[in-house]
Amino acid sequence: MPNDTALFLGQFLRNPAAIGALAPSSRRLATAVCAPVPERGEPIVVELGPGTGPFTAEIQQRLGGRGHHLAVELNERLAGLLAERFPKVDVAHADATKLGELLAQRGLGTADVVISGLPWAAFPRELQLDLMAAVTGSMSPGAAFTTFSYIHAIPLSSARRFRALLAERFEEVVLGRTVWRNTPPAFVFHARRPR
């Protein structure tokens, strides 16, 4: 939505390291990132860094009223917008490093799927480690984790460090195809079975 793009750009200009993108993700990227959301059962799906909600909308469509969808957003304005836009989603205005506490506060067990919209390649090493520890510590043994990276970030040392971290923390990591119809183009990481 045009208004979402303007809001997202405004929030990026205020804090580029925390937002990490100039525009919301495309529907094609949302479809690719949210592929692991189960079609049956009552899964616990965690979404990190939902922004204006392109992944949120896809997750809600896939869940169809099943399970529990916890969306964790650090930006207060975006968290408020998300809560208004998606009243069935449990929106937490919080730091993703507190994921274990957020699940415990809600009486939830471990997550079956973690979908991340966080700008991992923009984060320093310590934050990457803290976030990954929170993610893997909150997942069930067979859980799935998906995130994405922009193709222009491939050569960055922080992006290479993140790819190595994924390989270290998950038994299986698969790189998806490039989603060219996204601004900027991006590719998806699918990881399973946290170590």
Indicate if the pLDDT at residue 185 is higher than 90.
Answer: yes
Asked if 82 contacts 73 with a C-beta cutoff of 8 angstroms, the reply is yes
Mean pLDDT of the chain: 89
Q: What would the two tokens of residue 16 be?
A: 């580029």
Q: Give per-residue pLDDT as tens, 101-134.
A: 999 999 999 999 999 999 998 899 999 999 999 9
pLDDT for 16 equals 47
* Percent composition of the chain: helix, strand, coil (DSSP 3-state, to 5): 45, 25, 30
CB neighbours of 137 closer than 8 A, spacing ≥ 6?
99, 100
Taking the CB of residue 17, how many other CB atoms lie within 10 A of it? 11
User: CA–CA separation, 58 vs 34, rounded Å?
Assistant: 7
pLDDT band with cut points at 50, 70 and 90 for residue 2: very low
Indicate if the pLDDT at residue 5 is higher than 70.
Answer: no
Number of domains comprising the chain: 1
Supply the range of the domain harboring residue 19. Answer: 2-194
Rounded mean pLDDT, 3-21: 48
CATH at 58: 3.40.50.150
